[in-house]
Structure 1
Amino acid sequence: MSVYSMTGYASAQHNPAKEGAEGDNKHSANSRLGIEIRAVNSRFLDLSFRLPEELRACEPALREKLNAKLKRGKVELRASIESTSSSVVTEPSTRLLQRLNAIQDHVKAWLPSAQPLSVAEVIRLAGDESQPGKDWQAETLQLADEVLDALMAARKREGTRLAAMLFDRIKQLRALAAQAEPLIPLLVTQQRQRFLDRWAQAMELTDGQAKSEMAQDRALTEATAFAIRIDVAEELTRLASHLDELERLVKKGGDIGKRLDFLIQELHREANTLGSKSAALELTHISVDMKVLIEQMREQVQNIE
């Protein structure tokens, strides 16, 4: 499966001219249906719809389609029906004008401050009356499928880019871990020799009154305690394990965003522990570089479905 981003955008319009000469009615030929879907990241699937009154009945079917394809994200679907016959002005009939005038008088009797109808509003009402209603459900659901497919393609392209970025950061983290691993035995050896040198100096100051074997044993004990304190082998092992799992999930694809987010938290914890146990400047630099890479991964993982 592929990796999908939660962010994406797609839109399309329904062209009545493609229906041929056997259209439903003149209303469909003079109107244009448009649908657009916007998606951004979110912890859960959050759907919202902005539909004109003519398409309110389509909302359950549209919601079902989105639920079938999307797992996470804040998704907004907008639909609109626009008239394409802007050059045609419908002349209102006398009957319509009489009815509008009577309605207006009735409204003003109860609401004296109400504004009177404008010429533009009367013409619009005349156009609505002359054009019978149309059932847009079939066209809406068909167009929604097209837009949803385009959205999934856009999310897949973005997901592919995010996966490539994660693979690159995983590679860099492995390289940093490989740099850190040989530093620990070297530090332990150096510190052991440093303890022995200090105890040798202490022996010289005591003029041989202390037993050299005891001094050496004490130095070795201190060196061992130091080695245990700075040992990050366990952290490096867990970090490698988390990187293996993260790489496996990205290759697998699908609904992996939440699991990736958890693994990023674990990576950050190991990098922090590595820094807290640091006994050399080189290890501190490695820990900082790791945390920078992990933070970059965290920002991008927030967008993966």
Structure 2
Amino acid sequence: MPISGMTGFGRAEGALGAWTWAVEARSVNGRNLETRFRGPPGFDGLERITREGAQARFQRGNITVGVQAKRSEGAGSVRINHDQIARYLAAGAVYVADGRAAAPRLDGLLALRGVIEADDTGLDPEAVAELEAAMGGSISLALDALLTSRRGEGASLAPVLNGQVTRIGELTEQAGDVAGGQPAALKARYEARLKELAGEAATPERILQEAAAMAIKADVREELDRLAGHVAAAREHLAADGAVGRKLDFLTQEFMREANTLCSKSTLPALTTLGLDLKATIEQFREQVQNVE
């Protein structure tokens, strides 16, 4: 299975008897898998279905699933929430008493939020279970559509990520070629500086000894070898099955660590330039990796 992104959208609709519903599933980036659910009251089993469905399909990302359900007119009944009316009357009593407001009319009270409620209490447990099973099927379809959407994002990311890894590999090879000239450059620089300060006291043996010590400190072969190893590992992860986002994120940190050390050890402007190009490419790679599951 190719890499998957973490951003996507899926939708499904369904109907059973007097009920119709629509399910929307959305996903954005996240370090771990987090699932949020919003659904109609009275169907408590839908949240469990949603969480289990998300866990079966995804490993990372913030998933939001919403179910909007509607019962056809005449199929259910409505009731008046007398407690809510009492609360509204109590809240406005002081304004009516001192003449700042007129006594409320019934039609005005009935228009207030929470006074008229749909009464679906007539549904028996078997009917609720049947509806939940049907809505659960639509949730599964929406999650499947979300999975397809996220894989589509992954398909778009794959060539970008592979191209950046290839560029990191190319810069690493170029840095290796340039770094081979550091010992000679260090020796020439140290020799010129020592002769300027010590004159005839600057013996060839001393120059060679000091230049060798400086070359050891400036040796970047280990950093280049590790960078090459990280490039190979990144290519393996990008070609592997399953969620690889965390592994790529870790590799990005290792890439940057080696590039920083390379720059700090560099004594040649050309090598420093390559190190800075490496860091810029690695940062671009890091930004794209944040979108990978």
TM-score normalised according to structure 2 size: 0.81
Match of 2:187 in 1: 192
Match of 1:281 in 2: 269
Match of 1:221 in 2: 209
- Which aligned pairs between 1:245-256 and structure 2 lie closer than 5 A? 245-256=233-244
Equivalent residue in structure 2 for 1:39, among 22, 27, 31: 27
Structure-2 separation of matches of 1:132 and 1:227? 83
Structure-1 separation of matches of 2:186 and 2:33? 55
Partner letter of residue 139 of structure 1? A
Equivalent residue in structure 1 for 2:140, among 130, 145, 149: 145
Structure-2 separation of matches of 1:109 and 1:261? 54
- Which aligned pairs between 1:1-305 and structure 2 lie closer than 5 A? 1-14=1-14, 16=15, 24=17, 27-28=18-19, 32-82=20-70, 104=82, 108=86, 112-113=90-91, 116=106, 117-118=109-110, 128=119, 135=128, 136-196=131-191, 205-206=199-200, 215-305=203-293
Secondary structure (helix, strand or coil) at the match of 1:176 reads helix
Partner letter of residue 228 of structure 1? I
Residues 10 and 143 in structure 2, CA contact (< 8 A), matched pair in contact too: yes
Partner letter of residue 140 of structure 2? D
Larger Rg: 1
Cα distance, 1:267 vs structure 2: 0.3
Cα distance, 1:185 vs structure 2: 2.2
Structure-2 separation of matches of 1:196 and 1:120? 91
Cα distance, 1:55 vs structure 2: 2.5
Cα distance, 1:131 vs structure 2: 8.7
Structure-2 separation of matches of 1:270 and 1:113? 67
Aligned residues: 275
Query: Identical aligned pairs, as a percentage?
Result: 32
Which sections of structure 2, spanning at least 5 residues, go unmatched?
93-103
Structure-1 separation of matches of 2:120 and 2:237? 58
Cα distance, 1:279 vs structure 2: 0.6
Change (3 A) 1:197 1:128: closer
Residues 195 and 220 in structure 1, CA contact (< 8 A), matched pair in contact too: no
Structure-2 separation of matches of 1:68 and 1:51? 20
TM-score normalised according to structure 1 size: 0.78
Cα distance, 1:176 vs structure 2: 0.9
Query: RMSD across aligned C-alpha pairs, in angstroms?
Result: 3.4
Structure-1 separation of matches of 2:236 and 2:281? 19
Residues 84 and 114 in structure 2, CA contact (< 8 A), matched pair in contact too: no
String of CA shifts for 1:181-238, please: whole Å, max 9, x gaps: 12122232233244455666778x54xxx6xxx8111111122112112211110000
Change (3 A) 1:229 1:139: same
Structure-1 separation of matches of 2:84 and 2:53? 45
Structure-2 separation of matches of 1:280 and 1:80? 64
Match of 1:20 in 2: none
Cα distance, 1:62 vs structure 2: 2.2
Partner letter of residue 181 of structure 1? G
Structure-2 separation of matches of 1:137 and 1:242? 49
